[in-house]
Structure 1
């Protein structure tokens, strides 16, 4: 008998019908002789709906009250899933993160899990119950509800798996594994059977949305066996592990969107120091200061510096990840420029190479890099030549 922690995202529990399907999948796991603990996200669209309500009250909602509001979404989904299992004759109990003993720091809207007191969860598991825990949320030492930021339910699941010493943490989502790039924007992507923690962490950090960056780091540091699966179809998914059986010169291409190029001037030196710490700087001259800012952070920046902002445009960052991509930087830039893709900036880091381009060029640039360096026979030939040299 193994202890399995499963996580189901918003699309997986996006309707009553989907919740019923998830309950069947959980029952199947239990019938294989396993104990099961489940972390659940809010139903698809619910967190956005609650955020919109908050924005109708305030352009910049008070962080503590925002966490109180946003955490309500998960409470709905865990209760509905427990009701579905109970109706099918399966013993199940839902727990908020507070009840489950998930303690965080007090950084509202982006809290970090510090420890989990597992006694109550273990008691219910020992009684034969499926325990369903609210993802995305926790409590600080003062009893305040906190949230873990977007994608935080992944981190909840991994942290539970580590604290409970689970045999495997299974992340169920709307895709059947980790792909070589985002299939919504790139053609001919392939599912990876295995991927290393280090490469998965780089992809997640660079914009790949299948797993949250902090959850991968937590699994890596805690040696939690992690697998990404589809809640819609059966399959082996993708195993994230320390050392895959097959290593690849280029593992994948991550895309990061929703970025803005902000051109401004007239800052005081202390303001420039703060901005340099927070955002990548593209140009810094006496007459022009350009930074790359996530759209989510723009409103706060606009409120603080509205009179100093001169121009705004949309950007994307593309990042190749793998053991050999550092040696492909010049070739990648040449390929993009030959296809009339303007490059604002490129950078090389261990096992990664990134370029910043116009948002309008994202799909074209992504197809070029993926086709040339990730998946085609030409890419494999390049890998071979680099390895030989």
Structure 2
């Protein structure tokens, strides 16, 4: 039988009625001749409740027990989904991570996949099971302990299963009906994309788009898993949603495919840094050790042996970043005069594989922002994206201006 992977997020399984609605979608695919692996998240709000209970019980909790508690939300959903399918006379079984078994690293709350053997599930398919309902977000370490995969782990689970089982496609059901050129809440002209390349989706996800988790897109690109993003709340036909696929599967694309943004950014500048070989490593090594997600980096031209070093990071990590670099200075590893943090900035980015073969995109972008009197603080580029830091109060204006500039409301 051909195989399909279907993933349902927390809002899609938030109530028993929604679980029944999701089960009917699964039933239609079974009727179409598929064996189906369903990956489920915890019911909406459940994981936050479990995390809260752990924090109240033990402020300095054991990470292994944290994973044991937090992973239970997906187990409940998997069991309820399997029961619902059985009531529809569809042979279904629930599977927890250790039963598959989903083998992961031992990094609790941020584990990564090591192996997903398909023998156990395939044997049950051979015996007549039509649907395997697998608890997402979890696995088991070589020590035999339950692990969790971190935020968005169920998306990653779904893609990993599609790769491991050679699925025809991986359908991600969520509360939006696809991937848009930008957030429709910011720009009413935002248009749903029929197709988007893996690389574009990876950039959009990493730059702030919340539709798919970054690791899931990385896996899909590596193993060429065709992803489809669909709404749980609409009746979908075979052409619904957005297909995330290889670049060669897109006949013609616009130069820019989308505008992404991240609202809660900060710009940190170290002034009068001693300019010498290895200084960048001496600064960003301690930041990495402290778990700071550094993004944009700019170093000024050296003047009399000193330079300024600027980088961006999430605003909630500024205090940790300050602590890390000050401790490095106290240890004599780096030297700088001062640290200036601007916590009122946002990052806006344009993304598109068409930028590889078209010149002038940066000039267009900067001209559009200039026309709206939006000042650019930092610029970084890659082959298929351009990102800028701007004052946060201009975020919506900048997104709308760039969406209009590249005429993203029009199909390619």
Q: TM-score, normalised by structure 1?
A: 0.87
8 Å contact from structure 1 (residues 259, 294) kept in 2? yes
Shift of 1:83: 1.9
Structure 2: runs of 5+ lacking an equivalent: 328-337
Which structure: larger Rg? 2
Name the structure 2 match of 1:387. Answer: none
Name the structure 2 match of 1:260. Answer: 266
1:240 aligns with 2:237: no
Give SS of 1:11's match: helix
Give SS of 2:380's match: strand
8 Å contact from structure 2 (residues 12, 174) kept in 1? yes
Change (3 A) 1:362 1:162: same
Change (3 A) 1:375 1:13: same
Name the structure 2 match of 1:216. Answer: 217
* Residues 74-125 of structure 1 deviation map (CA, whole Å, 9 limit, x = unaligned): 1121112112222233221111112121111122222211210111111222
Change (3 A) 1:298 1:13: farther
**Distance in 2 of aligned mates of 1:287 and 1:55:** 43
Name the structure 1 match of 2:332. Answer: none
**Distance in 2 of aligned mates of 1:55 and 1:306:** 30
Give SS of 1:208's match: coil
Name the structure 2 match of 1:272. Answer: 283
1:331 aligns with 2:351: no
1:321 aligns with 2:351: yes
Name the structure 2 match of 1:385. Answer: none
- The two structures, once aligned, show a CA RMSD in angstroms of 3.0
Shift of 1:153: 0.9
The within-5 A match list for 1:270-309 is 272-275=283-286, 277=288, 278=292, 279=294, 280-281=296-297, 291-295=311-315, 297=317, 301=321
Shift of 1:323: 3.1
Shift of 1:156: 0.5
Shift of 1:303: 7.1
Shift of 1:311: 4.8
Give SS of 2:184's match: coil
**Distance in 2 of aligned mates of 1:25 and 1:351:** 36
Change (3 A) 1:258 1:96: farther
Give SS of 1:375's match: coil
Structure 1: runs of 5+ lacking an equivalent: 381-389
* Residues 245-273 of structure 1 deviation map (CA, whole Å, 9 limit, x = unaligned): 23221111122233334567899978734
Change (3 A) 1:309 1:108: farther
**Distance in 2 of aligned mates of 1:58 and 1:114:** 30
Name the structure 1 match of 2:391. Answer: 358
**Distance in 2 of aligned mates of 1:130 and 1:140:** 25
Q: TM-score, normalised by structure 2?
A: 0.82
